[in-house]
Chains A and B, each alone.
Chain A
Amino acid sequence: MTGFIIFLLATRRYMAIVGLGVLAVFFAAALAAPLIYSWSAATLVNLSQALAPPSLTLPLGADEMGRDMIARLVWGARVSLIVAGTSVSVALVAGLLIGGLCGYYDNRITFVTMRAMDAVISFPRILVAIMLITILGPGMASLTLAIAISSVPVFARLFRGPVLSLKTRDFVLASRSLGAGDMRLLFRHVMPNISALIIVQGSISLAEAVLIASGLSFLGLGPQPPVPEWGAMIAQSRSHLMSSPHVVLVPGIALFLLVLALNLVGDGLRDFTDPKAGRAIARPA
């Protein structure tokens, strides 16, 4: 982590540092949400302050039900990060297993598996997720699962390529010549050599997952009211966009910042892990 920050500073990748900072703020907010604002502050209806504009007591105003926007924003960060984090982790593990095994073993079963992955990829991801939620029923758990399942084929395809090329390398052959079994070769020699790809793809997929999660929530397929999910918040308040723009702008801008930050950090990580990037050399300004 420190190495990463030093690299970003040394190579003047300030945008990635800004992204890292924004990300840190969101993470802190998500972690501390229960300490600063109670769950009831984010969910209890108080119509006396409905659509209140930002003020000293309500820094970001209140929504159409009179709920404190900043409390909902902070709790919403928690929801977004949990959904995105869990779904990407699950998808990474599944994608690594499928991609790794299908790259390592080249036979009829893995061929059929990869063609099945291709079939899933041929549908837009959001459509796959909608189909899955239709089956599972809306909610935070099924939203997470739907995003995870819809990203598995992407990961599987992405990781299969390098495994395919790494397994023919001499150091894998050398380990086999010592008597190593397939699992040892795959998990000790092949997989660690794609860790950079895993980290980079993971961080960029996180941004995508946040976006899809709020997109689905906007459509009402995510966590149900009164859970404060950013996409759902935009959907519920959108009729007040003209009279009280803050109710839509607050979750919208938060979403924008989080996705942007994740992408910036992802780009920074990609440069950091690319051995050809020339670590210590600053880019010409």
Chain B
Amino acid sequence: MTAPLLEVEDLDVHFPVFRGPLRRRAGTVRAVDGVSLRVMPGETLALVGESGCGKSTLGRAVLRLQEPSGGQVRFEGQDLLHLGKRDLKAARRRMRMVFQDPHASLNPRLRAAEIIGEAFTIHGCTRAERDAGVAELLTLVGLGPDFAQRFPHEFSGGQRQRLGIARALALHPSFVVCDEPVSALDVSVQAQIVNLLMELQERLGLSYLFISHDLHLVEFIADRVAVMYLGRIVETAPAAALFAGPLHPYTRALLAASPSIDPDRRAADAVIEGELPSPLNPPSGCAFHPRCPHATDQCRAEMPPLAALATGHDVRCWHAADWMAAAPARAEALG
């Protein structure tokens, strides 16, 4: 078995909260709390969850754009969290990010060539190398070298996101965090960008950590899926297994809430009610219990572990085994 490209262990990102006139520490927001995950070479791991669950923070922490407060991140065999300035800079050649908002993520004062070429300048390439690289990248993302001298405002939303992707791919990284790369785009453009990302993955052997809340998109693009709820991973499974038989009540509710044109996939569970609880003051026991239709006393008292139910299928639920057993029956009932 090959070694994972990225290995995250027990990662915490906690933010202290200060309140009142004396700015006393009022508590801690556990945006990411004890998350472990791994991404294999060439694989797409999708991270799904509703807004505020900590998926973007996790994506940033993995690249050390947000300093984690604890845990371990191993990338290409090196311990990312203990790298010095120089080694971190070298590691940034290999790992990148595509941002959600293609308007906010491009400096309005720089030309396309300067935006894409920045990585080359930072990592000490010559001018000739940079110019050649920029032209190559522009062609790679389907824009063409003619666009090099334009400013971001002269591009459409989809073109801007292509620019963002070209920037992320400069100097051949192996790992890209895609933080909702298409959710700010028109539906018609979304498909083009997703296809581009998949095509590039195949051509360049990239690994993606694909953050999204669009389950249809995830089903289409992901090899494996991790579902996040309130800073923790509640279920992780190969994409096919997850969509065929979701085990965590939250995952089931998510899938049920997502509109589908497939008549075989109807809402089996009640749609979840209520709001995401405050990560400043998380519920006792299982974080999902206040919204879970199946919650028992055990759920209210104790946090369930992330337990393996099948190969590569981990669920954080006390009753996961019951759902597993009930799954074929339910499928029959529906079928």
Contacts and interface: CB of A to CB of B under 8 A. Distances in A.
B122 A179 contact: yes
A193 B107 contact: yes
Given A170-B105, A173-B60, A177-B97, 6 more contacts: A170-B100, A171-B104, A174-B164, A176-B65, A178-B118, A193-B108
Contacts of A174: 97, 99, 105-106, 164, 167
Contacts of A180: 118, 122
Contacts of A193: 107-109
A279 interface: no
A179 B99 contact: no
Contacts of A179: 88-90, 92-93, 119, 122-123
A111 to B, nearest CB: 12
Nearest to B109: A192
A184 interface: yes
B122 A171 contact: no
Chain B contact patch, size range: 20 to 34
A89 interface: no
A224 interface: no
Interface string A158-193: 000000000001110111111111001000010011
Chain A contact patch, size range: 10 to 19
A170 B102 CA distance: 9
Interface of A: 169-171, 173-181, 184, 189, 192-193, 195
28 contacts: A169-B104, A170-B99, A170-B100, A170-B101, A171-B104, A171-B105, A171-B107, A173-B65, A174-B97, A174-B99, A174-B105, A175-B107, A176-B65, A177-B63, A177-B65, A177-B96, A178-B92, A178-B96, A178-B118, A178-B170, A179-B89, A179-B122, A181-B89, A184-B122, A189-B107, A192-B107, A193-B108, A193-B109
Contacts, number: 55
Q: Is the interface of A mostly helix, strand, loop or mixed?
A: helix
B278 to A, nearest CB: 22
Nearest to B164: A174
Contacts of B89: 179, 181
Nearest to A190: B107
A278 to B, nearest CB: 16
Contacts of B170: 178
Given A170-B99, A184-B122, A177 B104 contact: no
Nearest to B108: A193
The 6 closest A-B pairs by CB, nearest first: A179-B92, A170-B105, A170-B104, A171-B107, A179-B89, A178-B119
B242 to A, nearest CB: 29
A206 B17 CA distance: 43
A142 B134 CA distance: 51
Nearest to B120: A178
Nearest to A171: B107
A176 B92 CA distance: 9
A175 B89 CA distance: 12
Contacts of B122: 178-180, 184
